[in-house]
Structure formats: C-alpha cells, structure tokens
C-alpha cells in the first residue's frame, strides 16, 4: 500500500472531494502544505469553501482532471471501478488509496488517536468530545461528519498529540483505522446493503475494539445487549457507561437524576464508580444526547481532563448542523432539520421533540435508500407514528437503483393502518404549499432524513 509521509508533502487528488469526510481530509493535508486538487459532480457549500481557501476543484469526473504531477489519488467506497478518474489513475500507475486508508495513516501520527463509532450518535459525540478537548486547551485535530460552526467546518488542524475522528462501520471502513482509544455508542442493524445481519455488524465492531492497544481506553455503552461479547478478550482498559435505572446501575460512569428544562435540554448527575463527579447541564435535547454526552465524559475523564472543562464545554455545546437544528421561524411555526433516517434515530428525535415547546409536530420525512426503507418498513412506521402528522416525500435513492418493489406509498399505507395523520407528495413544491396552508402558530415542522429534504424547510424560510 502506498504510504503518505506527512513530512514530505506531495500532490494528492481527491475523487468526490465535496463529501463531508473527503473535504475534511483534503483540507487537513492542504494545511500541512500538500498540493491538493479534486473533483465532484456538483457545486456545494463544501466545494465553494475549498475553492475559497485555494484548493482547485473540477466539476465532473474526467480523465483530464488527472494532471501529470499527481502523486496519489484518494477515493471513497462509493466510487465505482468504472469511474474515469479512478480507472485512469490505475492505468497510469498512480497510487490510489481509499479514504479510510488515508485516515488510518493519519491516525498513526498521533499519540492519542480517538475513534468514535456506533450505529447512531457518532457526529454528536465526536463534536462533544472535541469541544471538551478544546476547552481544556489540548488543541486537538478534528475530523467529523458534520459542519461545526465553532471550528468553521468539518475539520480542524491542531498542533497537539490529540486527534478525534468519527469512525463509520459502513463497508468496514473503521477497520482501516489505528485508534489508541475508542468509543462504541451502540450496535444495531444498519447498512444491510453491505452487512448480512446484526451478528456480522457485531463482529465488525468487535474487530474494531480489538485495535485498541494495551494502554488505551475502550469506552463502551453498557446498555448494548451482551456488550461483553465485544470486549471480553481485550487487553486494553474497558470503561462502561449508561443511564442509571432500577434494572442496572453497575456502569463505570452513569447518569441519574435526569431533568429537562422548558426547552427539553437535559441535565443529570454524573457518577464514576458510584462517586458523584458533579452535575452536567446540556444545551441540546433528548435522552439519546444525555447518553452521547456521558460517553464523551467517560473518555475525557479517563484521559485526565478536568471535570470543570467537561461541564463547561457540554453546557456551551449547542449541536451540529442537521441534528435537531433550528433553522428559523415563519408565522410562528418553528422549522427544524434533523438527519435521522434509521428507526432508532427517528424515534429518539421525535421523542425528544415532544419535550420542546410546541402545538403540533409535523414530521416531513424523506426515506433514505430503497434497501433501508424495505428492511425497516415496520420499525420506521412505528417510529414515525410518534409524530402528530407525517408528510412523506419520495425515497432518496443515494447510491441505489430503484428495485421497483418499495416506495413511500408503502410507508403511507402502513401509517394509515396505524391511524396516523399522514400525507404523501411526490415533489417538494407540493409539500411546501401543503405546510403553508396547514401549519399554525407554535407548530413544529421537522424536515427529517439523510437526503436533501432540508431544502423544504430552507425554502419555506426563504433561505
């Protein structure tokens, strides 16, 4: 495998440079004095930012984008072998690296390389821990799968031995990483277009956990079913966390005495081995985010970060783009956007939304991929039924072709059977017009999904 030496900058070309993780890596290398170029299919805020800082971006994938001085080409698992740039690079003998391989090489340069994984909550927890390390003046390098206003994007180049990286299990990407510490937030059935079943997913997370060295920390959610199976053969320090309950209070780090303010922001007493560390106040909503924050607390405390820094950082953290993001208010109706697309995420978001001031909740849901919609049809239906009203858009295909045996109409029919007030419209203009004529003051409109449904709310707000 081609090795990038960070003290020997060369010209690196990124295929799909507008991707959230690809752009972060491109910018990180650029700030380390590498020459960077890239290509993407369309303009976006991300590509515009890259161009503004001096990175050359071509729009469209063409052989001509590969100039003679390119030393290495980076691509993602989503790039097909038939991609003209990837094919040309291999034909010309230009070394190629998959995105995860580059990130793994990057991790080797840090004494404290922290990989944050889980089926859900990765971006939020990565952001929380990053903010804690920044407050503690540990100057971390950060690579996260979301836009963070307080670092001006999705990456930050620090000058310390701390590196925090969101670590995704899809296509086993995180198995190419070299973390010294890890967080495993949850392990559920997901990405079943790649994994065969939950057991294969659990095995993947087990292999990821095995990467932690003897002197490293694995922070794992003790509420994961049979979590011991994922870590019982490890030599590293294993640290558990979880929400205290009558059923279990045996976690190394636990949250209890949970309260919510008038806006649904949670607070809790944090215990370590039964000893009270102090009270954590969050500025974001939901029980799932209390759990996410507890994971960040557990790792930060294990690394010796002061609890004062932990408290201060978590109290000031206001969330990440597309995670219960308040976009604005129109005629008294609050527009919120959320990335949720898996049934567990949908349920967590809508449960949290009920704690936020509102009259009615309108969930404008765009299913993400045909395979996920078909696999989780019943579970998604049950989760969406928590909303007062559901408005369905067509399935966002992403990387998939339409198989012809699943559509949003199937979700519509299932929700009707449950008695949910549900509507379906094939285009965004119809959704916007419907919402304008049906929503009243103090209603919440939540555009939900991992596709482009965010455009509905932004259009309503005139942005």
Catalytic residue set: 122-123, 166
Which own/partner pairs from 236-241 qualify as long-range (CB within 8 Å, at least 24 positions apart)? Answer: 236/212, 237/302, 239/298, 239/299, 239/302, 241/291, 241/294, 241/295, 241/297, 241/298
Assess contact for 167 and 177: CB atoms under 8 A.
yes
Structure tokens at 154: 């999705």
Q: How far is CA 13 from CA 9, 29, 34, 107, 230, in A?
A: 13, 11, 10, 20, 37
Query: How far apart, in whole angstroms, are the C-alpha atoms of residue 344 and residue 379?
Result: 8
Query: How far apart, in whole angstroms, are the C-alpha atoms of residue 251 and residue 183?
Result: 15
Place of tokens 């990407």: 173
Question: Is residue 445 packed enough to be buried (19+ CB in 10 Å), middle (13-18) or exposed (0-12)?
Answer: buried
Query: How far apart, in whole angstroms, are the C-alpha atoms of residue 168 and residue 419?
Result: 36
The DSSP string of 142-163 is: EEEEEEEGGGTEEEE--SSSEE
């Amino acid at each position: 495998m081609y090795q990038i030496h960070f003290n020997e900058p060369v010209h690196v070309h990124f295929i799909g440079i507008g991707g959230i993780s690809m752009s972060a890596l491109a910018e990180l290398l650029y700030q380390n004095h590498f020459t960077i170029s890239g290509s993407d299919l369309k303009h976006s805020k991300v590509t515009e930012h890259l161009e503004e800082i001096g990175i050359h971006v071509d729009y469209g994938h063409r052989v001509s984008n590969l100039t003679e001085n390119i030393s290495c080409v980076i691509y993602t698992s989503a790039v097909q072998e038939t991609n003209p740039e990837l094919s040309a690079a291999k034909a010309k003998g230009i070394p190629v690296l998959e995105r995860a391989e580059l990130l793994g090489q990057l991790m080797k340069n840090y004494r404290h390389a922290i990989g944050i994984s889980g089926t859900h909550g990765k971006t939020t927890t990565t952001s929380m821990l990053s903010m804690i390390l920044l407050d503690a003046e540990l100057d971390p390098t950060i690579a996260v799968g979301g836009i963070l206003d307080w670092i001006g994007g999705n990456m930050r180049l620090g000058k310390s031995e701390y590196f925090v990286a969101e670590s995704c299990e899809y296509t086993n990407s995180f198995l190419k990483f070299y973390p010294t510490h890890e967080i495993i937030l949850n392990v559920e059935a997901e990405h079943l277009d790649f994994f065969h079943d939950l057991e294969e997913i659990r095995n993947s997370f087990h292999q990821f956990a095995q990467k932690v060295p003897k002197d490293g920390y694995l922070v794992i959610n003790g509420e994961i079913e049979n979590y011991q199976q994922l870590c019982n053969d490890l030599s590293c320090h294993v640290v558990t966390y979880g929400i205290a309950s009558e059923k279990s209070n045996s976690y190394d780090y636990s949250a209890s005495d949970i309260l919510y303010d008038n806006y649904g922001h949670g607070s809790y007493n944090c215990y370590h081995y039964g000893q009270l560390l102090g009270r954590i106040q969050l500025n974001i909503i939901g029980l799932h985010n209390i759990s996410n924050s507890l994971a960040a607390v557990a790792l930060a405390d294990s690394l010796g970060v002061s609890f004062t820094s932990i408290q201060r950082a978590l109290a000031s953290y206001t969330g990440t783009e597309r995670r219960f993001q308040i976009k604005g208010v129109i005629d008294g109706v609050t527009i919120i956007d959320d990335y949720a697309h898996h049934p567990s995420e949908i349920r967590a978001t809508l449960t949290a939304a009920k704690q936020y001031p509102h009259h009615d909740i309108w969930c404008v849901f765009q299913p993400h991929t045909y395979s996920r919609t078909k696999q989780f049809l019943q579970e998604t239906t049950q989760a969406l039924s928590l909303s007062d009203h559901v408005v369905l858009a067509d399935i966002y295909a992403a990387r998939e072709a339409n198989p012809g045996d699943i559509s949003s109409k199937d979700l519509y029919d299932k929700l009707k059977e449950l008695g949910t007030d549900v509507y379906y419209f094939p285009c965004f203009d119809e959704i916007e017009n419907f919402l304008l004529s049906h929503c009243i003051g103090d209603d919440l409109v939540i555009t939900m999904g991992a596709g482009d449904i965010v455009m509905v709310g932004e259009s309503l707000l005139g942005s």
